[in-house]
Structure 1
Amino acid sequence: MSQPCATPATVLRIDTHAHVFTRDLPLADVRRYAPTYDVTVEQYIARLDTHGMSHGVLVQPSFLGSDNRYLLAALARYPQRLRGIAMVDADVSEQQLLALQAGGVVGIRFNLVGGAPVPDFTGVWRSTLARIAQLGWQVEIHREAVDLPRVLPPLLAMGLKVVVDHFGRVDAALGVDDPGFRYLLSSAAGGQVWVKLSASYRNGGAEQGQRFARQAWPLLREHFGAQRLLWGSDWPHTQHESLTDYGHSWQQFTQLVSDEEQRRIITGQTAAQLFGIN
Protein backbone atom coordinates (compact mmCIF):
# COMPACT_ATOMS: atom_id res chain seq x y z
CA MET A 1 0.00 0.00 0.00
CA SER A 2 1.05 3.61 -0.46
CA GLN A 3 2.85 5.88 1.98
CA PRO A 4 0.99 8.85 3.54
CA CYS A 5 1.02 12.03 1.51
CA ALA A 6 2.78 15.04 3.03
CA THR A 7 0.44 17.76 1.77
CA PRO A 8 -0.36 20.21 4.58
CA ALA A 9 -3.93 20.14 5.84
CA THR A 10 -4.23 23.89 5.20
CA VAL A 11 -4.83 23.08 1.52
CA LEU A 12 -8.53 22.81 0.68
CA ARG A 13 -8.79 19.10 -0.12
CA ILE A 14 -12.04 17.26 0.49
CA ASP A 15 -12.78 13.55 0.72
CA THR A 16 -16.46 13.29 -0.23
CA HIS A 17 -17.22 9.69 0.72
CA ALA A 18 -16.45 7.79 3.93
CA HIS A 19 -18.32 5.95 6.68
CA VAL A 20 -18.14 5.58 10.45
CA PHE A 21 -19.91 2.93 12.52
CA THR A 22 -19.56 0.45 15.34
CA ARG A 23 -20.63 -3.17 15.27
CA ASP A 24 -22.98 -2.79 18.25
CA LEU A 25 -25.26 -0.20 16.63
CA PRO A 26 -28.84 -1.25 15.81
CA LEU A 27 -28.99 -2.48 12.23
CA ALA A 28 -31.64 -1.93 9.57
CA ASP A 29 -34.11 -4.78 9.20
CA VAL A 30 -33.29 -5.07 5.49
CA ARG A 31 -29.55 -5.02 4.76
CA ARG A 32 -26.90 -6.71 2.63
CA TYR A 33 -24.09 -6.49 5.16
CA ALA A 34 -23.36 -6.28 8.89
CA PRO A 35 -20.02 -4.92 10.17
CA THR A 36 -17.69 -7.03 12.28
CA TYR A 37 -15.42 -4.15 13.32
CA ASP A 38 -15.62 -0.53 14.46
CA VAL A 39 -14.49 2.64 12.67
CA THR A 40 -14.78 5.86 14.63
CA VAL A 41 -14.77 9.49 13.63
CA GLU A 42 -11.46 9.92 15.45
CA GLN A 43 -9.92 7.24 13.24
CA TYR A 44 -11.30 8.99 10.17
CA ILE A 45 -9.97 12.39 11.22
CA ALA A 46 -6.58 10.78 11.77
CA ARG A 47 -6.61 9.57 8.17
CA LEU A 48 -7.60 12.98 6.90
CA ASP A 49 -4.71 14.52 8.83
CA THR A 50 -2.20 11.90 7.71
CA HIS A 51 -3.06 12.37 4.05
CA GLY A 52 -3.39 16.14 3.95
CA MET A 53 -7.18 16.34 3.73
CA SER A 54 -8.81 19.49 5.08
CA HIS A 55 -12.40 18.19 5.19
CA GLY A 56 -14.43 15.02 4.86
CA VAL A 57 -17.97 13.91 4.13
CA LEU A 58 -19.52 11.08 6.12
CA VAL A 59 -22.18 9.05 4.33
CA GLN A 60 -24.73 7.12 6.37
CA PRO A 61 -24.06 3.37 5.93
CA SER A 62 -27.02 1.56 4.40
CA PHE A 63 -26.95 -1.12 7.11
CA LEU A 64 -27.85 1.53 9.70
CA GLY A 65 -30.90 2.63 7.73
CA SER A 66 -32.47 5.97 8.64
CA ASP A 67 -31.17 6.00 12.23
CA ASN A 68 -28.69 8.83 11.76
CA ARG A 69 -27.77 9.33 15.42
CA TYR A 70 -24.23 7.98 15.15
CA LEU A 71 -23.62 10.06 12.03
CA LEU A 72 -24.87 13.23 13.78
CA ALA A 73 -22.72 12.53 16.83
CA ALA A 74 -19.67 12.20 14.59
CA LEU A 75 -20.46 15.46 12.79
CA ALA A 76 -20.92 17.21 16.13
CA ARG A 77 -17.38 16.27 17.15
CA TYR A 78 -15.84 18.07 14.16
CA PRO A 79 -18.42 20.53 12.81
CA GLN A 80 -15.88 22.66 10.96
CA ARG A 81 -14.29 19.76 9.10
CA LEU A 82 -17.13 17.36 8.38
CA ARG A 83 -20.40 17.31 6.47
CA GLY A 84 -22.92 14.49 6.30
CA ILE A 85 -25.17 12.64 3.88
CA ALA A 86 -28.10 11.02 5.71
CA MET A 87 -30.62 8.34 4.91
CA VAL A 88 -34.24 9.22 5.62
CA ASP A 89 -37.67 7.68 5.27
CA ALA A 90 -40.28 9.06 2.89
CA ASP A 91 -42.34 10.36 5.80
CA VAL A 92 -39.48 12.26 7.46
CA SER A 93 -40.86 15.38 9.13
CA GLU A 94 -39.90 18.99 8.50
CA GLN A 95 -38.52 19.18 12.04
CA GLN A 96 -36.33 16.12 11.45
CA LEU A 97 -34.95 17.57 8.23
CA LEU A 98 -34.13 20.86 9.91
CA ALA A 99 -32.43 19.00 12.78
CA LEU A 100 -30.31 17.11 10.25
CA GLN A 101 -29.42 20.36 8.53
CA ALA A 102 -28.44 21.96 11.83
CA GLY A 103 -26.23 18.96 12.49
CA GLY A 104 -24.21 19.37 9.31
CA VAL A 105 -26.20 17.22 6.87
CA VAL A 106 -26.28 18.52 3.29
CA GLY A 107 -28.03 15.70 1.43
CA ILE A 108 -29.64 12.29 1.47
CA ARG A 109 -28.63 9.01 -0.07
CA PHE A 110 -30.51 6.17 -1.74
CA ASN A 111 -28.42 2.99 -1.62
CA LEU A 112 -30.23 0.88 -4.20
CA VAL A 113 -27.67 -1.70 -5.28
CA GLY A 114 -28.27 -5.42 -5.14
CA GLY A 115 -31.79 -5.46 -6.50
CA ALA A 116 -33.32 -3.01 -4.03
CA PRO A 117 -36.66 -1.66 -5.29
CA VAL A 118 -36.53 1.77 -6.87
CA PRO A 119 -38.45 4.22 -4.65
CA ASP A 120 -41.61 5.86 -5.93
CA PHE A 121 -40.01 9.26 -6.39
CA THR A 122 -43.08 10.80 -8.03
CA GLY A 123 -45.51 9.36 -5.48
CA VAL A 124 -44.79 8.75 -1.82
CA TRP A 125 -41.44 10.54 -1.97
CA ARG A 126 -42.57 13.60 -3.93
CA SER A 127 -43.21 16.02 -1.05
CA THR A 128 -40.05 15.04 0.82
CA LEU A 129 -37.91 15.41 -2.29
CA ALA A 130 -39.50 18.79 -3.00
CA ARG A 131 -38.40 19.89 0.48
CA ILE A 132 -34.91 18.47 -0.14
CA ALA A 133 -34.72 20.61 -3.27
CA GLN A 134 -35.84 23.68 -1.31
CA LEU A 135 -33.11 23.09 1.24
CA GLY A 136 -30.57 23.01 -1.58
CA TRP A 137 -29.45 19.52 -0.62
CA GLN A 138 -28.14 16.88 -2.95
CA VAL A 139 -29.51 13.39 -3.55
CA GLU A 140 -26.87 10.67 -3.81
CA ILE A 141 -27.65 7.59 -5.86
CA HIS A 142 -25.89 4.24 -5.50
CA ARG A 143 -27.40 1.98 -8.16
CA GLU A 144 -26.17 -0.24 -10.95
CA ALA A 145 -25.68 1.74 -14.14
CA VAL A 146 -28.27 -0.24 -16.09
CA ASP A 147 -31.02 1.35 -13.99
CA LEU A 148 -29.80 4.95 -14.02
CA PRO A 149 -32.01 5.85 -17.03
CA ARG A 150 -35.11 5.21 -14.92
CA VAL A 151 -33.74 6.39 -11.56
CA LEU A 152 -32.32 9.79 -12.47
CA PRO A 153 -35.01 11.44 -14.69
CA PRO A 154 -37.68 11.94 -11.99
CA LEU A 155 -35.11 13.43 -9.62
CA LEU A 156 -33.76 15.76 -12.27
CA ALA A 157 -37.29 16.81 -13.23
CA MET A 158 -37.76 18.03 -9.65
CA GLY A 159 -34.71 20.27 -9.98
CA LEU A 160 -32.60 18.23 -7.57
CA LYS A 161 -28.82 18.08 -7.54
CA VAL A 162 -27.95 14.41 -8.07
CA VAL A 163 -24.64 12.76 -7.17
CA VAL A 164 -23.94 9.33 -8.68
CA ASP A 165 -21.65 7.14 -6.59
CA HIS A 166 -18.63 5.06 -7.56
CA PHE A 167 -18.24 5.84 -11.28
CA GLY A 168 -21.87 4.77 -11.86
CA ARG A 169 -21.47 1.09 -10.89
CA VAL A 170 -21.15 -0.37 -14.37
CA ASP A 171 -21.46 -3.98 -15.49
CA ALA A 172 -17.85 -5.13 -15.25
CA ALA A 173 -18.14 -7.10 -18.50
CA LEU A 174 -19.26 -4.00 -20.39
CA GLY A 175 -17.21 -1.25 -18.78
CA VAL A 176 -17.53 2.07 -20.58
CA ASP A 177 -19.80 0.40 -23.13
CA ASP A 178 -22.43 -0.21 -20.46
CA PRO A 179 -25.55 1.60 -21.81
CA GLY A 180 -26.18 2.91 -18.31
CA PHE A 181 -22.76 4.53 -18.24
CA ARG A 182 -23.41 6.07 -21.65
CA TYR A 183 -26.68 7.45 -20.30
CA LEU A 184 -24.79 8.87 -17.32
CA LEU A 185 -22.45 10.70 -19.68
CA SER A 186 -25.44 12.15 -21.54
CA SER A 187 -26.97 13.38 -18.28
CA ALA A 188 -24.09 15.82 -17.84
CA ALA A 189 -25.63 18.26 -20.32
CA GLY A 190 -28.33 19.34 -17.88
CA GLY A 191 -25.84 20.55 -15.27
CA GLN A 192 -27.55 18.81 -12.33
CA VAL A 193 -25.45 15.64 -12.07
CA TRP A 194 -22.12 15.05 -10.32
CA VAL A 195 -20.14 11.78 -10.37
CA LYS A 196 -17.86 10.42 -7.67
CA LEU A 197 -14.51 9.06 -8.83
CA SER A 198 -14.49 6.59 -5.98
CA ALA A 199 -14.29 2.87 -5.20
CA SER A 200 -13.26 1.68 -8.65
CA TYR A 201 -13.04 -1.82 -7.13
CA ARG A 202 -16.83 -1.87 -6.94
CA ASN A 203 -16.81 -2.01 -10.75
CA GLY A 204 -15.30 -5.47 -11.20
CA GLY A 205 -12.61 -5.84 -8.55
CA ALA A 206 -9.24 -4.22 -7.96
CA GLU A 207 -7.50 -4.67 -11.32
CA GLN A 208 -10.53 -4.66 -13.60
CA GLY A 209 -12.01 -1.72 -11.72
CA GLN A 210 -8.87 0.32 -12.23
CA ARG A 211 -8.79 -0.54 -15.94
CA PHE A 212 -12.35 0.67 -16.20
CA ALA A 213 -11.50 3.85 -14.27
CA ARG A 214 -8.68 4.64 -16.69
CA GLN A 215 -11.04 4.21 -19.64
CA ALA A 216 -13.87 6.12 -17.95
CA TRP A 217 -11.82 9.11 -16.79
CA PRO A 218 -11.33 10.86 -20.17
CA LEU A 219 -15.01 10.36 -20.99
CA LEU A 220 -16.15 11.74 -17.64
CA ARG A 221 -13.72 14.64 -17.95
CA GLU A 222 -15.01 15.44 -21.44
CA HIS A 223 -18.68 15.41 -20.45
CA PHE A 224 -18.69 16.66 -16.86
CA GLY A 225 -15.46 18.59 -16.53
CA ALA A 226 -13.63 18.89 -13.24
CA GLN A 227 -16.41 21.20 -12.04
CA ARG A 228 -18.84 18.30 -11.58
CA LEU A 229 -16.58 15.43 -10.60
CA LEU A 230 -15.73 14.48 -7.02
CA TRP A 231 -13.26 12.24 -5.22
CA GLY A 232 -14.10 9.96 -2.30
CA SER A 233 -11.94 7.47 -0.43
CA ASP A 234 -14.84 5.10 0.33
CA TRP A 235 -13.04 4.43 3.64
CA PRO A 236 -13.14 1.90 5.30
CA HIS A 237 -13.90 0.14 1.98
CA THR A 238 -16.56 -2.19 3.40
CA GLN A 239 -16.39 -5.70 1.99
CA HIS A 240 -13.26 -4.71 0.07
CA GLU A 241 -10.92 -3.96 2.97
CA SER A 242 -8.22 -6.33 1.69
CA LEU A 243 -8.00 -4.59 -1.69
CA THR A 244 -7.00 -1.10 -0.62
CA ASP A 245 -6.51 1.40 2.18
CA TYR A 246 -6.89 5.16 2.49
CA GLY A 247 -3.48 6.03 1.11
CA HIS A 248 -3.80 3.64 -1.79
CA SER A 249 -7.19 5.10 -2.68
CA TRP A 250 -5.72 8.60 -2.82
CA GLN A 251 -2.70 7.41 -4.79
CA GLN A 252 -4.93 5.78 -7.39
CA PHE A 253 -6.84 9.04 -7.78
CA THR A 254 -3.67 11.07 -8.28
CA GLN A 255 -2.48 8.59 -10.88
CA LEU A 256 -5.85 8.69 -12.64
CA VAL A 257 -6.16 12.49 -12.59
CA SER A 258 -2.55 13.36 -13.29
CA ASP A 259 -3.16 17.06 -13.88
CA GLU A 260 -2.67 18.90 -10.59
CA GLU A 261 -5.03 21.74 -11.50
CA GLN A 262 -7.86 19.33 -12.28
CA ARG A 263 -7.24 17.50 -9.00
CA ARG A 264 -7.35 20.83 -7.18
CA ILE A 265 -10.70 21.72 -8.71
CA ILE A 266 -12.22 18.27 -8.09
CA THR A 267 -11.16 17.98 -4.46
CA GLY A 268 -11.36 21.68 -3.67
CA GLN A 269 -13.67 24.10 -5.42
CA THR A 270 -16.18 21.55 -6.77
CA ALA A 271 -16.57 19.65 -3.51
CA ALA A 272 -16.61 22.80 -1.36
CA GLN A 273 -19.45 24.36 -3.35
CA LEU A 274 -21.56 21.20 -3.43
CA PHE A 275 -21.12 20.31 0.24
CA GLY A 276 -21.23 23.83 1.68
CA ILE A 277 -17.62 23.94 2.89
CA ASN A 278 -15.69 27.17 3.17
Structure 2
Amino acid sequence: MSASVSLAQSHSFRVDTHAHVFERGLPLTDSRRYAPDYDATLDTYLQLLNTHDIGRAVLVQPSFLGTDNRYLLQALSRDTHRLRGVAVVAPDASEEALADLHGRGVTGIRLNLIEQALPDLGAKSWTPLLERLSKLGWHVELHRNAQDLAPMLDRLLEAGIPVVVDHFGRPDPAKGIHDSGFRSLLGYGGTGRVWVKVSGAYRCAALGSSFVHEATSQLVEHFGAGRLMWGSDWPHTQYEHVMNYGQSLSTLLEIGLDAAVVDAILCTTPALFYGFDQESGNRCASSARVAPSHNATACAPGSA
Protein backbone atom coordinates (compact mmCIF):
# COMPACT_ATOMS: atom_id res chain seq x y z
CA MET A 1 0.00 0.00 0.00
CA SER A 2 1.41 3.40 -0.90
CA ALA A 3 2.20 5.92 1.79
CA SER A 4 -0.15 8.51 0.31
CA VAL A 5 -3.11 6.13 0.32
CA SER A 6 -2.49 4.93 3.86
CA LEU A 7 -2.19 8.48 5.17
CA ALA A 8 -5.47 9.42 3.58
CA GLN A 9 -7.07 6.51 5.40
CA SER A 10 -5.34 6.99 8.76
CA HIS A 11 -6.87 10.39 9.64
CA SER A 12 -3.59 11.43 11.25
CA PHE A 13 -2.90 15.06 11.96
CA ARG A 14 0.01 16.18 9.85
CA VAL A 15 2.59 18.66 11.13
CA ASP A 16 4.54 21.11 9.00
CA THR A 17 7.69 21.82 11.03
CA HIS A 18 9.20 24.54 8.87
CA ALA A 19 7.53 27.65 7.45
CA HIS A 20 8.08 31.40 7.54
CA VAL A 21 5.67 34.32 7.69
CA PHE A 22 6.54 37.95 6.95
CA GLU A 23 5.39 41.13 5.23
CA ARG A 24 7.11 43.84 3.27
CA GLY A 25 8.01 46.86 5.34
CA LEU A 26 9.15 45.01 8.45
CA PRO A 27 12.47 46.12 9.99
CA LEU A 28 15.29 44.10 8.45
CA THR A 29 18.58 43.07 10.00
CA ASP A 30 21.72 44.68 8.61
CA SER A 31 23.33 41.26 8.17
CA ARG A 32 20.62 39.94 5.84
CA ARG A 33 21.63 38.14 2.67
CA TYR A 34 18.50 39.31 0.83
CA ALA A 35 14.91 40.37 1.47
CA PRO A 36 11.75 39.12 -0.32
CA ASP A 37 9.69 41.64 -2.26
CA TYR A 38 6.31 40.06 -1.41
CA ASP A 39 4.15 39.20 1.59
CA ALA A 40 3.87 35.71 3.10
CA THR A 41 1.11 36.23 5.64
CA LEU A 42 -0.23 33.89 8.28
CA ASP A 43 -3.68 34.02 6.68
CA THR A 44 -2.29 32.75 3.38
CA TYR A 45 -0.31 30.06 5.16
CA LEU A 46 -3.26 28.86 7.22
CA GLN A 47 -5.29 28.49 4.03
CA LEU A 48 -2.56 26.24 2.63
CA LEU A 49 -2.55 24.16 5.80
CA ASN A 50 -6.30 23.68 5.56
CA THR A 51 -6.16 22.83 1.87
CA HIS A 52 -3.54 20.14 2.45
CA ASP A 53 -4.98 18.78 5.69
CA ILE A 54 -2.10 19.93 7.87
CA GLY A 55 -3.24 20.14 11.47
CA ARG A 56 -0.25 21.77 13.21
CA ALA A 57 2.69 23.94 12.17
CA VAL A 58 5.98 25.41 13.34
CA LEU A 59 6.85 28.96 12.32
CA VAL A 60 10.58 29.66 12.05
CA GLN A 61 11.94 33.19 12.34
CA PRO A 62 13.21 34.34 8.90
CA SER A 63 16.90 35.18 8.74
CA PHE A 64 16.31 38.65 7.31
CA LEU A 65 14.33 39.72 10.41
CA GLY A 66 17.22 38.87 12.71
CA THR A 67 16.45 38.84 16.43
CA ASP A 68 13.32 40.97 16.09
CA ASN A 69 10.76 38.25 16.78
CA ARG A 70 7.73 40.54 17.11
CA TYR A 71 6.04 39.47 13.87
CA LEU A 72 6.61 35.81 14.71
CA LEU A 73 5.09 36.26 18.16
CA GLN A 74 2.12 38.11 16.70
CA ALA A 75 1.49 35.19 14.37
CA LEU A 76 1.81 32.62 17.17
CA SER A 77 -0.72 34.53 19.26
CA ARG A 78 -3.34 33.91 16.58
CA ASP A 79 -3.54 30.19 17.38
CA THR A 80 -1.49 28.93 20.31
CA HIS A 81 -3.03 25.45 19.96
CA ARG A 82 -2.09 24.96 16.33
CA LEU A 83 1.22 26.82 16.12
CA ARG A 84 4.67 26.66 17.68
CA GLY A 85 7.65 28.91 17.04
CA VAL A 86 11.42 28.86 16.65
CA ALA A 87 13.00 32.23 17.39
CA VAL A 88 16.33 33.89 16.73
CA VAL A 89 18.02 35.46 19.76
CA ALA A 90 21.31 37.12 20.59
CA PRO A 91 23.87 35.14 22.62
CA ASP A 92 23.24 37.47 25.57
CA ALA A 93 19.47 36.91 25.63
CA SER A 94 18.33 37.11 29.24
CA GLU A 95 16.57 34.40 31.18
CA GLU A 96 13.52 36.67 31.44
CA ALA A 97 13.39 37.26 27.67
CA LEU A 98 13.62 33.53 26.94
CA ALA A 99 10.94 32.76 29.54
CA ASP A 100 8.64 35.25 27.84
CA LEU A 101 9.21 33.58 24.47
CA HIS A 102 8.63 30.19 26.07
CA GLY A 103 5.27 31.30 27.40
CA ARG A 104 4.23 32.46 23.95
CA GLY A 105 4.77 29.20 22.11
CA VAL A 106 8.48 29.27 21.25
CA THR A 107 10.24 25.94 21.76
CA GLY A 108 13.77 26.62 20.50
CA ILE A 109 16.15 28.95 18.72
CA ARG A 110 17.57 28.87 15.24
CA LEU A 111 21.15 29.45 14.22
CA ASN A 112 20.93 30.29 10.53
CA LEU A 113 24.59 30.35 9.61
CA ILE A 114 24.43 30.16 5.83
CA GLU A 115 27.02 32.61 4.49
CA GLN A 116 27.73 33.74 8.06
CA ALA A 117 30.83 33.51 10.22
CA LEU A 118 30.78 30.35 12.31
CA PRO A 119 30.30 31.08 16.03
CA ASP A 120 32.50 29.45 18.62
CA LEU A 121 29.80 27.77 20.66
CA GLY A 122 32.45 26.68 23.13
CA ALA A 123 33.32 30.28 23.99
CA LYS A 124 32.35 31.62 27.40
CA SER A 125 30.06 34.17 25.75
CA TRP A 126 27.77 31.33 24.66
CA THR A 127 27.76 29.39 27.93
CA PRO A 128 24.96 31.33 29.70
CA LEU A 129 22.63 31.02 26.72
CA LEU A 130 23.24 27.30 26.32
CA GLU A 131 22.58 26.78 30.02
CA ARG A 132 19.33 28.74 29.77
CA LEU A 133 18.20 26.77 26.73
CA SER A 134 18.91 23.51 28.52
CA LYS A 135 16.97 24.66 31.57
CA LEU A 136 13.95 25.48 29.41
CA GLY A 137 14.15 22.17 27.58
CA TRP A 138 14.58 24.00 24.28
CA HIS A 139 16.38 22.81 21.18
CA VAL A 140 18.75 24.54 18.78
CA GLU A 141 17.94 24.42 15.08
CA LEU A 142 21.06 24.48 12.91
CA HIS A 143 21.12 25.71 9.33
CA ARG A 144 24.59 25.41 7.84
CA ASN A 145 26.44 23.62 5.07
CA ALA A 146 26.96 19.96 5.93
CA GLN A 147 30.75 20.16 6.03
CA ASP A 148 30.61 22.58 8.99
CA LEU A 149 27.99 20.87 11.16
CA ALA A 150 30.05 18.43 13.22
CA PRO A 151 31.88 20.84 15.58
CA MET A 152 28.67 22.66 16.41
CA LEU A 153 26.73 19.45 16.90
CA ASP A 154 29.43 18.20 19.25
CA ARG A 155 29.35 21.35 21.38
CA LEU A 156 25.56 21.49 21.61
CA LEU A 157 25.33 17.83 22.54
CA GLU A 158 28.01 18.35 25.19
CA ALA A 159 25.81 21.12 26.60
CA GLY A 160 22.88 18.70 26.80
CA ILE A 161 20.82 20.46 24.15
CA PRO A 162 18.76 18.63 21.52
CA VAL A 163 19.58 19.68 17.97
CA VAL A 164 17.42 19.92 14.86
CA VAL A 165 19.37 20.02 11.59
CA ASP A 166 17.68 21.90 8.76
CA HIS A 167 17.13 20.83 5.17
CA PHE A 168 18.80 17.40 5.01
CA GLY A 169 21.92 18.96 6.54
CA ARG A 170 22.54 21.09 3.42
CA PRO A 171 25.00 18.87 1.55
CA ASP A 172 26.78 20.30 -1.48
CA PRO A 173 24.32 19.95 -4.42
CA ALA A 174 27.15 18.65 -6.58
CA LYS A 175 27.89 15.83 -4.11
CA GLY A 176 24.51 14.98 -2.62
CA ILE A 177 24.63 11.95 -0.32
CA HIS A 178 28.35 11.59 -1.06
CA ASP A 179 29.11 14.91 0.66
CA SER A 180 31.50 14.08 3.52
CA GLY A 181 29.52 16.39 5.80
CA PHE A 182 26.33 14.50 5.09
CA ARG A 183 28.10 11.20 5.73
CA SER A 184 29.33 12.64 9.04
CA LEU A 185 25.81 13.76 9.93
CA LEU A 186 24.57 10.18 9.56
CA GLY A 187 26.92 9.21 12.37
CA TYR A 188 24.95 11.34 14.81
CA GLY A 189 21.89 9.13 14.44
CA GLY A 190 23.07 6.97 17.30
CA THR A 191 23.14 9.86 19.78
CA GLY A 192 19.36 9.93 20.11
CA ARG A 193 19.68 13.71 20.51
CA VAL A 194 19.75 14.93 16.90
CA TRP A 195 16.73 15.33 14.63
CA VAL A 196 16.82 16.13 10.90
CA LYS A 197 14.24 17.97 8.82
CA VAL A 198 13.56 16.38 5.45
CA SER A 199 12.75 19.75 3.93
CA GLY A 200 13.98 22.22 1.36
CA ALA A 201 15.59 19.57 -0.85
CA TYR A 202 15.75 22.12 -3.67
CA ARG A 203 18.36 23.98 -1.63
CA CYS A 204 20.78 21.06 -1.74
CA ALA A 205 19.93 19.05 -4.86
CA ALA A 206 18.85 19.45 -8.45
CA LEU A 207 15.11 19.14 -8.99
CA GLY A 208 14.23 15.77 -10.45
CA SER A 209 17.33 14.09 -9.08
CA SER A 210 17.27 10.96 -6.91
CA PHE A 211 18.61 12.89 -3.91
CA VAL A 212 15.41 13.00 -1.85
CA HIS A 213 14.82 9.27 -2.09
CA GLU A 214 18.46 8.36 -1.44
CA ALA A 215 19.02 10.85 1.38
CA THR A 216 15.74 10.09 3.15
CA SER A 217 16.38 6.35 2.97
CA GLN A 218 19.81 6.78 4.54
CA LEU A 219 18.48 9.10 7.21
CA VAL A 220 15.75 6.61 8.10
CA GLU A 221 18.39 3.89 8.32
CA HIS A 222 20.67 5.86 10.65
CA PHE A 223 18.22 8.01 12.64
CA GLY A 224 14.95 6.13 12.45
CA ALA A 225 11.67 7.83 11.64
CA GLY A 226 11.48 8.97 15.27
CA ARG A 227 14.26 11.47 14.55
CA LEU A 228 13.02 12.82 11.21
CA MET A 229 10.44 15.53 10.56
CA TRP A 230 8.94 17.04 7.43
CA GLY A 231 8.78 20.75 6.68
CA SER A 232 7.34 22.58 3.69
CA ASP A 233 9.88 25.44 3.85
CA TRP A 234 7.03 27.71 2.70
CA PRO A 235 7.12 30.18 1.01
CA HIS A 236 10.25 28.58 -0.49
CA THR A 237 12.22 31.84 -0.44
CA GLN A 238 14.45 32.30 -3.48
CA TYR A 239 12.92 29.12 -4.97
CA GLU A 240 9.34 30.33 -5.36
CA HIS A 241 9.48 29.79 -9.11
CA VAL A 242 10.28 26.07 -8.84
CA MET A 243 8.30 24.96 -5.78
CA ASN A 244 4.85 25.26 -4.21
CA TYR A 245 3.22 23.84 -1.09
CA GLY A 246 1.62 20.84 -2.75
CA GLN A 247 4.85 19.85 -4.47
CA SER A 248 6.75 20.12 -1.20
CA LEU A 249 4.34 17.73 0.50
CA SER A 250 4.40 15.35 -2.46
CA THR A 251 8.18 15.22 -2.22
CA LEU A 252 7.75 13.16 0.94
CA LEU A 253 4.61 11.25 0.03
CA GLU A 254 5.77 10.01 -3.37
CA ILE A 255 9.19 8.50 -2.70
CA GLY A 256 7.87 5.11 -1.68
CA LEU A 257 8.55 5.05 2.05
CA ASP A 258 6.75 2.57 4.26
CA ALA A 259 3.42 3.98 5.47
CA ALA A 260 4.41 3.73 9.14
CA VAL A 261 7.61 5.66 8.44
CA VAL A 262 5.71 8.43 6.67
CA ASP A 263 3.20 8.59 9.51
CA ALA A 264 6.01 9.03 12.04
CA ILE A 265 7.87 11.68 10.00
CA LEU A 266 4.75 13.65 9.15
CA CYS A 267 2.69 13.18 12.30
CA THR A 268 3.88 11.45 15.43
CA THR A 269 7.49 12.56 15.74
CA PRO A 270 6.87 16.31 15.30
CA ALA A 271 3.72 16.21 17.46
CA LEU A 272 5.77 14.87 20.34
CA PHE A 273 8.90 16.93 19.72
CA TYR A 274 7.11 20.30 19.60
CA GLY A 275 4.70 19.46 22.40
CA PHE A 276 1.46 19.67 20.45
CA ASP A 277 -1.61 18.60 22.35
CA GLN A 278 -2.39 14.98 21.51
CA GLU A 279 -5.73 14.70 23.23
CA SER A 280 -8.98 15.63 21.49
CA GLY A 281 -8.32 17.02 18.06
CA ASN A 282 -4.94 15.49 17.39
CA ARG A 283 -5.34 12.06 15.86
CA CYS A 284 -1.77 11.08 15.16
CA ALA A 285 -2.05 7.43 14.25
CA SER A 286 -1.03 4.83 16.84
CA SER A 287 0.46 7.38 19.25
CA ALA A 288 -0.27 6.97 22.94
CA ARG A 289 -0.43 9.94 25.29
CA VAL A 290 3.21 10.63 26.07
CA ALA A 291 4.62 13.65 27.83
CA PRO A 292 6.75 15.45 25.24
CA SER A 293 10.41 15.42 26.18
CA HIS A 294 13.49 16.23 24.19
CA ASN A 295 15.42 14.05 26.60
CA ALA A 296 13.72 10.84 25.56
CA THR A 297 15.70 8.55 23.32
CA ALA A 298 12.58 7.07 21.75
CA CYS A 299 10.29 9.93 20.84
CA ALA A 300 7.76 8.22 18.63
CA PRO A 301 6.75 4.98 16.95
CA GLY A 302 9.28 4.09 14.32
CA SER A 303 12.28 5.16 16.37
CA ALA A 304 15.49 3.27 15.72
- Please report the TM-score for the alignment, with normalisation by the length of structure 2: 0.86
Corresponding residue for 1:3? none
User: Which structure 2 residues correspond to residues 6-17 of structure 1 after superposition, within 5 A?
Assistant: 11-17=12-18
User: Which structure 2 residues correspond to residues 197-236 of structure 1 after superposition, within 5 A?
Assistant: 197-208=198-209, 211-236=210-235
Q: Which moved more, 1:74-83 or 1:126-135?
A: 126-135
Question: Letter of the aligned partner of 1:275 in structure 2?
Answer: Y
Distance 1:13 1:240, change over 3 A: same
Q: Deviations over 1:96-123 (max 9, x none)?
A: 1011011100000000112x11112122
Corresponding residue for 1:185? 186
Question: Letter of the aligned partner of 1:79 in structure 2?
Answer: T
User: Which structure 2 residues correspond to residues 56-75 of structure 1 after superposition, within 5 A?
Assistant: 56-75=57-76
Corresponding residue for 1:157? 158
Quick one: higher RCO (CA 8 Å, sep 6+), 1 or 2? 2
Distance 1:182 1:92, change over 3 A: same
Q: Deviations over 1:145-166 (max 9, x none)?
A: 0101222110111111000000
Corresponding residue for 1:248? 247
Could you tell me whether the CA contact under 8 Å between 2:13 and 2:53 is conserved in 1? no
Could you tell me whether the CA contact under 8 Å between 1:9 and 1:52 is conserved in 2? no
Shift of 1:257: 5.0
Could you tell me whether the CA contact under 8 Å between 1:227 and 1:266 is conserved in 2? yes
Q: Deviations over 1:126-147 (max 9, x none)?
A: 1101110111111000000010
Query: Mind listing any 5+ residue stretches in structure 1 that lack a counterpart?
Result: 1-5
Shift of 1:189: 0.8
Corresponding residue for 1:176? 177
Could you tell me whether the CA contact under 8 Å between 1:166 and 1:195 is conserved in 2? yes
Q: Deviations over 1:195-253 (max 9, x none)?
A: 00001000133234xx2112112111110110000000000000000111001110111
CA distance in 1, matches of 2:196, 2:203: 14
Question: Letter of the aligned partner of 2:81 in structure 1?
Answer: Q
Distance 1:258 1:204, change over 3 A: closer
Provide the identity percentage. 49
Could you tell me whether the CA contact under 8 Å between 1:18 and 1:235 is conserved in 2? yes
- Please report the TM-score for the alignment, with normalisation by the length of structure 1: 0.94
CA distance in 1, matches of 2:99, 2:273: 18
CA distance in 2, matches of 1:34, 1:259: 39
User: SS of the counterpart of 1:230?
Assistant: strand
Question: How many pairs were matched up?
Answer: 270
Distance 1:127 1:7, change over 3 A: same
User: SS of the counterpart of 1:133?
Assistant: helix
Corresponding residue for 2:40? 39
User: Which structure 2 residues correspond to residues 115-130 of structure 1 after superposition, within 5 A?
Assistant: 116-123=116-123, 124-130=125-131
Shift of 1:258: 3.0
Distance 1:9 1:262, change over 3 A: closer
User: SS of the counterpart of 1:118?
Assistant: coil
Shift of 1:8: 9.7
Corresponding residue for 2:300? none
User: Which structure 2 residues correspond to residues 58-97 of structure 1 after superposition, within 5 A?
Assistant: 58-97=59-98
